[in-house]
Structures are given as C-alpha cells and as structure tokens.
Structure 1
C-alpha cells in the first residue's frame, strides 16, 4: 500500500474542496447559484440542445436521481426546462434565462479559477 499515493489523492481532494467553496461563495453572492449548478448549466450550454437526463447525468458523474434533485430547483427558477420523452426518460435544456445566467456566471467562475 502506497501512503504517498493516498496523500496525493487527499491533497487533490482538499484543493478541489477549497476551490469549490470559493466558487460556491462567489457564484452564490453574484448570481444566486452554486458551483455544481453552474457546472450543470455549462454542460447544457455546451451541448447547445436538449439532453437526455441519462446522458447529462453520465457527463456530470451523477446518478440520475441525484441529477434530478439538482435540476428541480433550477427548473423552478426558470433556468432549465424539462420535457418528458416517455415513461422513464426526459430531456433537459437551458432556458433563455439559464443561458444568460450561465454566460454571466462564466466570468465570475473564470476569475475565481484564476485565483485558486
């Protein structure tokens, strides 16, 4: 067992957590969203079309149920739209407001990432 390898993983996780904390704080203060919300909005924006929830969940490394828990508040805020594609599938897309917010939040996120 390599304790050095474990320490590398722990150091990376601590750095990721510190960056996520700063991003949450700045994005929340200026745009009312969390870092993971921005990551979700960015994935939808880069797709440039509605995405099946299973594809979006895989892209974000989330279980489908966890993705849907993240999507619901964004849907209530009018940032994303959901359309049922059948009994067990749905497509998720950015709304006009979601696209605008993602663009505005991108500058804030980029600024924080330059600092960390």
Structure 2
C-alpha cells in the first residue's frame, strides 16, 4: 500500500481504532505481520473522505531506569500525621541527620519542596 499524497493525518479526526485481531484489520495484519500494532480509520475535516492508517512497530530497545534523585526533607517532631504519611509512601527516617530521605518526585507530590534541605 502506498501513502496517499496531500493528506495531513494530524488534521484528521479518528473514527475508529481497531486492534490487530478485529475484522477490519485482518487483511492489513496479513500484510504487515507482527509489526502491526493497530489500524485507525480517520475522516478529513470536510467529512468527504475516510482514510485508513496503520501503526507499525519498527524497533525495540531496552529501557534503562534513571537513577532517582533522593532529597532530605525536614518534617517537624510534632507533625505526626505528615511523618506517618511520609513513612507509608516509602520515605526513610535518617536519625543521624534528623531528616526524612525520599525521592524528589515524592517530595514534589506531597508539596514539600519548601522543606527540602540542601546537602
């Protein structure tokens, strides 16, 4: 199948997204094999034409996990509810530093950015 010249897929509206095993995708599944991810039926802005597009898997590479940045956060000695919340979501108490150690992402989610201690 050749691409249709002069079509802007970004300006078209998706009508249907079909899995590879759906009735309307079987012919394309036979043509593209295991590389086929899904089939989409799109319509142009005027509603005059329907286009069939395919999503193909073209490469596969392993993902390396990023090293998570950990920060120290000051939580007051009497802030029991916040201490309990930090403990439940995986923060660790560092008794020597007297600070909580947690991923920066977690400190941001808990809105504790102002309590981060620079080390």
Q: TM-score, normalised by structure 1?
A: 0.25
Question: Looking at both structures, which has the greater relative contact order when contacts are Cα pairs under 8 Å and sequence separation is at least 6?
Answer: 1
Larger Cα-atom Rg: 2
Q: Which has the higher helix share?
A: 1
Q: Which has the higher strand share?
A: 2
Q: TM-score, normalised by structure 2?
A: 0.24
